[in-house]
Structure formats: structure tokens, C-alpha cells
Amino acid sequence: MKQIFNYSDYRDYIRDFYLERKKKNPRYSYSVLGTAIGLNASHVFCLVEKTRDLPIRCVPAVKKLMGLENRAAAYFDLLLAASRTKSETTRAEIMEKAALLKDIKKRFLQNKELEYLSQWWTAVIRAVIEVNQGRIDIKKIANSLEPPISEDQARDSIQLLKDLGFIKPINDKRVSLTESHITIGGEERANAIRSFQAEVMKVGARSLREVAPENRDISTLTMPVDQQCFEDIKAMLQEFRQEVQIRVDKCKHPSRVMQMNLAFFPVALSKKEAEK
């Protein structure tokens, strides 16, 4: 089955999902699909025939059933919003946002590529090389990092980037970058991501002491929320990350490398929540 990004109407995606399941299991019916997402068979039929829309209450169930997460889930939401609006102008604006999500380039790391996340500075060096327009100067790169690293560490990271194909040699002192964004999946890879995130958070804590306020922006907010508010804020953060990626892609002449850490976590629970 094609990815969600190949669709301009979410109902076509649901129809193809249904047909795919039906092909594998002839007993799969509108009733079975409806039960899974909270609709009756008649409503599901109208949905795939594009005569009715998907109720908002059913969206989480649809995403879970069809395995839509992160960028794919956000794309589905935009298709849904586009189908529900009666304004052609608004629909065009929504589909433009959807197109931007489709254009974000990402690469899935294989098991051997997990080493890329073994130290926080390898990803930074990759970005420094982009700022330097592909020029390689080991000593300058090592000293430019905050905090600085050794020349051997910088040399090893550059070799790793070459081995993985994230940069490609042009000549002895210049390389080209192959992709813009990287993401990985799976439990083992997720653990590597968590370890990497812990390391860059330590670097962030250091910046409070070592980096002048005019060169950073660090703020905190402590808030009481209910479950719906919690979910809404998570969605807002996801959308913000996507907007940041899109803005960075439009940056034609970068002069520095910045690290952004977004952390949203519980610091206290109500008695009812704590007992769960």
C-alpha cells in the first residue's frame, strides 16, 4: 500500500487501506473496519465514497489502526482539515502546508549507523561542515565546538560521516552533504536516540554557565494540565518542530550551528494519576 504522502484526500487512503485488508481477508468488511474506528458500516461506506467526513472523535483510532505517527499523522490531519473546509482559499493554504511536510527529506539509519548517535558532536560536526560550505579543517572544526573536542575526535567523526554516506568527498579538503534530516525507528534505535538526547541536554545545561545570554534562548514553564491539554501541547510541539525544520531548509547562508532541545515532562502527578 502506498504511503499517506501519495494521497491528496484522506478518504482515498482509508479506502485503499480497506481494500488491502479485504484482499488479504475476504471476510474483512465495512462493519469490521467501523468497529475498529468507532463508526457503523453505513458511515464507513459513505466515508470511502466521499459523501461523508470522518468524525474528529474517530481520528485517534484511525491513526492507531493504520500506523500513522509523527509526520504521517500530521499529514493525515491536514488532509482531514482540507476536506472539511468550505473555503477554497483555506483549502489551498492547508494543502500547501501538507506539501511542505512531503518535501522534508529524511533518512532511516540502519543498525550500523547507530554509531552516528554515540557522541553528541558527530551531528554537530555535520552541521558545521554545512556552514563551512563543505570545507574540512580538522583543527578549526574541533575548536569551534561548544565545548571544544580533540582533533582526533573530530577526525573520527568526519570519517564516520564519510563511511555512512552522510558526506561525500569532492576533493581532499571539501565534501558535499547528502541529506538534510535524519530519523530512526525501532526499540534499539529509540534507545540510541534517548541516549543522544540525554547527552545534548547536558550540553544545554552547560550553556547556561558558559554561553552569554545574547547567544542563547533558554526558558522554562511549569504548568498544571489535564489529559486533553497534555495531548494538545504535545501536538503543538510536534507542529512547531516541523515548522522549524522547514524554516531551516530555507536558510541559504548559515553562520552558526544551534541545538534546540524541547522537553515536556511530568514533575508531579495528582493522587489519581499517581495510582495508575
Asked whether residue 99 falls in the same domain as residue 200, the answer is no
How is residue 238 written as a grid cell? 510536534
CA distance 264 to 256: 26
Instruction: Report pLDDT digits (tens) over 97-117.
Output: 888 777 555 555 566 677 888
H-state helical runs in the chain: 10-24, 30-37, 41-48, 59-66, 70-84, 88-103, 120-131, 138-144, 151-164, 187-210, 227-249, 271-274
- Residue-level pLDDT at 178: 82
Provide the domain limits for residue 33. 4-103
Average pLDDT over residues 214-235: 94
- Residue-level pLDDT at 8: 92
Asked whether residue 115 falls in the same domain as residue 153, the answer is yes
- Residue-level pLDDT at 177: 85
Asked whether residue 16 falls in the same domain as residue 74, the answer is yes
Contact 166, 116 (CB under 8 A): yes
How is residue 111 written as a grid cell? 543498525
How is residue 78 written as a grid cell? 491536514
- Residue-level pLDDT at 96: 84
241 in any annotated domain: no
Domain boundary among 36, 70, 103: 103
Domain boundary among 220, 245, 262: 220
Domain boundary among 63, 82, 103: 103
Question: Which range, of 85-89, 191-195, 252-256, averages the lowest pLDDT?
Answer: 191-195
Task: Record the pTM.
Answer: 0.57
pLDDT at residue 14 is higher than 70: yes
CATH label of the domain that carries residue 165: 1.10.10
Strand pairing partners for 81?
none
Asked whether residue 201 falls in the same domain as residue 176, the answer is yes
To the nearest whole percent, how much of the chain has pLDDT over 70? 90
Q: Residue 232: left if φ>0, alpha if ψ -120 to 50, beta else—which one?
A: alpha
Instruction: Report pLDDT digits (tens) over 123-181.
Output: 999 999 999 999 999 999 999 999 999 999 999 999 989 888 888 888 878 999 886 55
Average pLDDT over residues 241-249: 90
Q: How many domains does the chain have?
A: 2
